[in-house]
Homo-oligomer: A and B are copies of this chain.
Amino acid sequence: MSNDHKSLREEAYEANIEIPRRNLAIYTWGNVSAFDPDKGVFAIKPSGITYDNLRPEDMPVIDLEGKIVYGKLKPSSDTETHRILYREFIYRSFGGKVAMKGITHTHSVYAAAFAQAKRAVPVFGTTHADHSAEEIPCTEFMSEEAVKNNYEFETGRLIIETFIRQNKNLITMPMVLVAGHGPFTWGKNAAESLYHAVVLEEICKMAHLSLSLKPDLEALPEYLIRKHWERKHGPNAYYGQKQ
C-alpha cells in the first residue's frame, strides 16, 4: 500500500509546504489538495499537522464519496469543501476534460481582510487582469440552516452557487473569497492552485493600498482589462515560452 497514489501525494505535499514559504498561512491554517481524475481521488493535507512535520507518506487520499482510500491520518477539516468542489467540477466539466486538479485554501491576511469586509475585488489594475478579466467574487454569508447541515460541504456549495448566480466560469475565475472566512483558489494542478493563492494575496494587497489612496476607485477600462487577459490567456496569447 505504501506506494499507492505516490505521485499524487507528493504533488499535494510539495504544494502544501509552499504555504508558509509564500507567507499564505501560519501554523496549520491552510491546505492544498491534488486530484487524480482517472482514479477519482485526491490527496490532501492531514488535519492539524504543521508544515514542518508533513511527509508525503502522511497525506491522506480520499475518493469522491468521502471515503479514505489511503493513509492513517485524519484529513483536513476542510476536506468536504475540496470534495464537493472536485465532484462538481467533474460533473460540470465540458467534453470530458477535467479542468481543475488542485485546490488551495489559506488565511492570507489581505485576502482574508476583503473576505471579512465581504467585498469583492474589482479589476483595479493589470496585475489583476493578467490573471482574470473579472472582479474576484465574494460569497454571501452561509445560512444558519446550511451551517447546521454539513458546514464544510456547504462551503463548497456556497462557492458553486455564487459562481452560478454571478454567471462566473470556474476556468476563467480561479479564485473566490468566502465571506467572513478567507480565500479558496484552484488550478490545473496543486501547484497552480497555490500559485493562484499567492497571486490573489498580491492582488488584494495592491487593491487595499489603492483603495486607501482613493476610496471610490473604479475598475480599469474594460478594453485594458481585456487586452491584458488576452495576451496571457486568449486564443492568440503571446506571454511565456509556449502557448
Task: Indicate with 1 or 0, residue by residue over A86-123, a CB within 8 angstroms of chain B CB atoms.
Answer: 00000000000000000000010110111111110000
Task: Indicate with 1 or 0, residue by residue over A192-227, a CB within 8 angstroms of chain B CB atoms.
Answer: 000100100010011111111110010011011001
> CB distance A112 to B144 under 8 Å?
no
Which of A2-10, A35-43, A45-53, A164-172 contacts its partner? Answer: A45-53
Contacts known (A114-B213, A202-B109); A181 close to B126, Cβ less than 8 A: yes
Cβ contact of A239, chosen from B48, B119, B210, cutoff 8 A: B48
For chain A, the bracket of interface size reads 35 or more
Cβ contact of A213, chosen from B117, B126, B127, B202, cutoff 8 A: B117
Cβ contact of A210, chosen from B117, B211, B212, cutoff 8 A: B117
Contacts known (A77-B231, A181-B126); A116 close to B210, Cβ less than 8 A: yes
> CB distance B77 to A198 under 8 Å?
no
Task: With both chains docked as a complex, state the minimum distance between the C-beta of A210 and any C-beta of chain B, in angstroms.
Answer: 4
6 pairs from A and B in contact (CB 8 Å cutoff) = A109-B206, A109-B209, A116-B217, A124-B180, A141-B221, A180-B220
How many copies of this chain does the complex contain? 4
> CB distance B223 to A46 under 8 Å?
no
Task: Determine the chain B residues whose CB is within 8 A of the CB of A124 once the complex forms.
Answer: 116, 180
The CA of A116 and the CA of B205, in the complex, are separated in Å by 12
A235 interface contact, C-beta 8 A: no
> CB distance A107 to B119 under 8 Å?
no
Task: With both chains docked as a complex, state the minimum distance between the C-beta of A86 and any C-beta of chain B, in angstroms.
Answer: 21
Contacts known (A109-B202, A144-B221); A182 close to B125, Cβ less than 8 A: yes
Instruction: List the B residue with the shortest CB-CB distance to A74.
Output: B241
Task: With both chains docked as a complex, state the minimum distance between the C-beta of A42 and any C-beta of chain B, in angstroms.
Answer: 19
The CA of A105 and the CA of B26, in the complex, are separated in Å by 20
Task: With both chains docked as a complex, state the minimum distance between the C-beta of A137 and any C-beta of chain B, in angstroms.
Answer: 16
> CB distance B109 to A115 under 8 Å?
no
Task: With both chains docked as a complex, state the minimum distance between the C-beta of A156 and any C-beta of chain B, in angstroms.
Answer: 15
Task: With both chains docked as a complex, state the minimum distance between the C-beta of A227 and any C-beta of chain B, in angstroms.
Answer: 5
Task: Determine the chain B residues whose CB is within 8 A of the CB of A213 once the complex forms.
Answer: 113-114, 117, 119, 208, 211
